[in-house]
Structure 1
Amino acid sequence: MLEIIIAGYGAIIWLVFIKLKLLPWNIKSQLGAVAGALFLAATIIFTVNVITPVSEDVRVINMVSEVTTRVPGTVKRVAVEGNVMLKKGDVLVEIDDTPYRLKVNQLKAQLADVQANANNLKQDLESAKNGTLSAKAHFDLMTLRLDESTKLATAGAGNQYDVESYRSEVQKALAALNTAKANEVKANSKLTAVVGDDNASVASVKAQLEAAQYDLESCVVRAPADGFAVNVMVRPGNYAVAMPLRPLMSFVENEQRIIAFFDQNELRLVKPGDKAEIAMRTIPGKVLYAKVESIIWANGGGQSVQSGVIPNTPMEHLHAPLPQKYAVRLKLNHEDAEDAPYLAMGARGVGAVYTDHIKPLHLLRMVVLRLDAKINYLIFKLP
């Protein structure tokens, strides 16, 4: 497009100075024509780069999850092959669940036992209360006998041996009463110790059972999202562990992000919602329509890593580090995901953003971008 504008400018110069001879064609007019051409080209180039910035580094990024097992165990079955599309929740790998299944059965038996014991706590409390009443009655009786024997001994109608005997019985009865009261308090504490609607011991075993069932369910490793697995090197018989971290495979999610990287002085007029176009090398000859979803106003050049060492400033280096680019997230204009073209993970291309300024000059960038799309048909490699 720039060549067409320069050619039109040259045609005007030829018509004015050569054909119609409206102005003299001399050294001054020749220098003026050349300077005008350079000025026109520079003005167009610098203006277009501001109102329609272009990025030669557009990337398609997919989320990748490292699939690991939460519970250790021997791999019993690998249910997938690499590069096969899967739905979220599809089985990837099965771990031998024998020890976890046995643990669940053990806790189920333990739960039944503690539930039976919890049902008997009311009877235990009633029995403890009856024991307290019985011990108190015996204590009262021994206290009465001690008083009576003491009065008889004082009056000379009884002997001192009976007094000492009943005094000993009173001490025994008091100890038995205290023990019975303690048993009653203990039984009452067990009965009133609840978590929610369950007795404390029952709730404890239930929590252990839930944890064991969760471990049992974790023996089946499932797809975290829609996508496909790659690097499926795990085989039945391998021992899978969570730590040290050794992923079973990598899982590529279908969710994609299109990121375009721009120099730091190219985005001053760009805002979310601006129109954009993309030409990917994996789809030669085609231009994809998109819009600016967001601008990531951050890059690694502004980050200081936590450390106990004072970082060196760029002035202390021989050469300051180059300024890093800013990323712009683009979204394709496709309401239905099935209508969107397939973009391979890691695909590269060029893209342009069209701001709301001097829209007639957008045509120049559109033409150049479509030429880039056509050039993608060519493979510059010797046979």
Structure 2
Amino acid sequence: MIVFMTLAYVAVLFVLIKVKVLPNTKTTWLSTVVWVVVLFIFLFIPMQWGAPSGPVKVQMRVVQILPNVSGEVTNVAVEANTPLKAGDVLFEIDPEPYEIAVASAKATLARAEAQGVQDQANLAAAEAQLRQAEAQQALAARLYRDDEELVKSGTISEQRLEQRQAELDAAIGAVEQSQAAVARAMIEVNAVTEDGTLAKIAEAQAGLRQAQWNLKETKIRAPSDGYVTNLALTVGQRVTNLPLAPAMAFVDTSEKGLVAEVHQIYRRHIEIGQPVEMAFKTLPGTLVTGTVEQLLDISAQGQAAVTGNVAAAGQTQAEPFLLRIKLDNPDNEALLPAGAAGTFAIYTNSVAATHVIRKVMLRMTSIVNYINPAL
């Protein structure tokens, strides 16, 4: 732009000299240098913060499709670059191992429910055995007391009393064993969850739900509206749920984002809601308008990475900050494919006189986009 304005100034000088308004001297032609300096100082330098410019690109999310279960692919239900709706099946994994797991979990649950009934019966049996042992203890104690009186009167010998003592001790031991059996049975019966379900039954139910969920996850579905690109998956391949081995790339078309880069020294003049004009390579000769939607308060350089190394000195650079732009006309999103690149200009509240020059420059860039492939 400065070259264009300088050439225009030279052309004006040439015309004025030809019509003899100005003399054809060195001083007249050296005024061109003054003109360039004035342009730089009073126009182009202030324009950098009054109407900052930079690169802008259109971005979309690309989701790495990772199945939640592993197995052999039995069906690929999609074709590359074909529009899909959220919930459409992308591919299927052999469900047989997971069907077997569900059947096994159902059997485990049935066994746990039967075990719960058995635990109740074991508790009743242990309590009955405890009552019997307590009755035998009471009988042994009474016989011991009776024989103790007979020993005192000399009717029987002390050997008979020793036998009664042994019988009483055995009865006491039987009661203690029965009490322990009752305690063990009560532990099994009283092991319940917060909702009152027997613990072993709740555990079996959880195992069944997990097996059923795994079976459901053998059908991998689209996370949103979009399409699969660079499709290489085929029947017979084995997929895993490891993050290092995604099965396919899914392009999420539910939202597009316009991300622009602005130098740090100009960021202080930018505010949300300020008008933006953009010239994209995919739309030569056309300007797309919008507003500043969001200023991102961090750059890649501002991320503190957790490592075992001391931060290296001398690595700091003034990286550009990113900002998001909202289109004035949402219908223009359809005209901007993901990856479309261009140049933007933000018209701030500073040095408004320079906005005209920036608008002219951006329109020239838009026209040059017909022939210039680079930014």
User: What is the TM-score with the length of structure 1 in the denominator?
Assistant: 0.84
Residue 169 (structure 2) pairs with residue 171 (structure 1): yes
Distance 1:196 1:119, change over 3 A: farther
CA contact (8 A) 1:261 1:327 kept: yes
Distance 1:117 1:313, change over 3 A: closer
Amino acid at match of 1:363: V
Residue 73 (structure 2) pairs with residue 75 (structure 1): yes
Amino acid at match of 2:328: N
CA contact (8 A) 1:2 1:364 kept: no
Distance 2:173 2:263 in 1: 90
CA contact (8 A) 1:13 1:33 kept: no
Distance 2:231 2:14 in 1: 69
Give the structure 1 partner of residue 280 of structure 2: 280
Residue 346 (structure 2) pairs with residue 353 (structure 1): yes
Residue 260 (structure 2) pairs with residue 267 (structure 1): no
Give the structure 2 partner of residue 204 of structure 1: 203
Distance 2:208 2:141 in 1: 53
Give the structure 1 partner of residue 222 of structure 2: 223
Residue 349 (structure 2) pairs with residue 375 (structure 1): no
Aligned residues: 371
Residue 251 (structure 2) pairs with residue 252 (structure 1): yes
Give the structure 1 partner of residue 231 of structure 2: 232
Q: What's the offset of the Cα at 1:52? A: 0.8
CA contact (8 A) 1:264 1:325 kept: yes
> Secondary structure of 1:331's partner?
strand
Question: What aligned pairs does 1:1-383 form with structure 2 within 5 A after superposition?
Answer: 25=23, 27=25, 30=28, 33-42=31-40, 43-55=42-54, 57-119=55-117, 121-197=119-195, 198-243=197-242, 245-254=244-253, 255-302=255-302, 305-314=305-314, 323-334=318-329, 336=330, 340-378=333-371
CA contact (8 A) 1:61 1:258 kept: yes
Distance 1:360 1:368 in 2: 14
Amino acid at match of 1:77: N
Distance 1:26 1:235 in 2: 79
CA contact (8 A) 2:66 2:242 kept: no
39-48 or 344-353, which deviates more: 39-48
Give CA deviations for 1:130-150 in whole Å, capped at 9, x if unaligned: 322221111000111122123
> Secondary structure of 2:58's partner?
strand
Distance 1:228 1:52, change over 3 A: same
Give CA deviations for 1:95-134 in whole Å, capped at 9, x if unaligned: 1111111111211122123223324544543433332222
Distance 1:165 1:98, change over 3 A: same
Distance 1:142 1:305, change over 3 A: closer
> Secondary structure of 2:46's partner?
helix
Runs of 5+ unmatched residues, structure 2: none
Amino acid at match of 2:362: L
Distance 2:140 2:96 in 1: 63
Amino acid at match of 2:360: V
CA contact (8 A) 1:2 1:41 kept: yes
Q: Percent identity?
A: 27
> Secondary structure of 1:86's partner?
coil
Runs of 5+ unmatched residues, structure 1: 315-319
Q: What's the offset of the Cα at 1:75? A: 0.8
Distance 2:13 2:240 in 1: 78
Q: What's the offset of the Cα at 1:8? A: 8.0
User: What is the TM-score with the length of structure 2 in the denominator?
Assistant: 0.86
Alpha carbon RMSD of aligned pairs, Å?
A: 3.1
Distance 1:5 1:339 in 2: 33
> Secondary structure of 1:340's partner?
helix
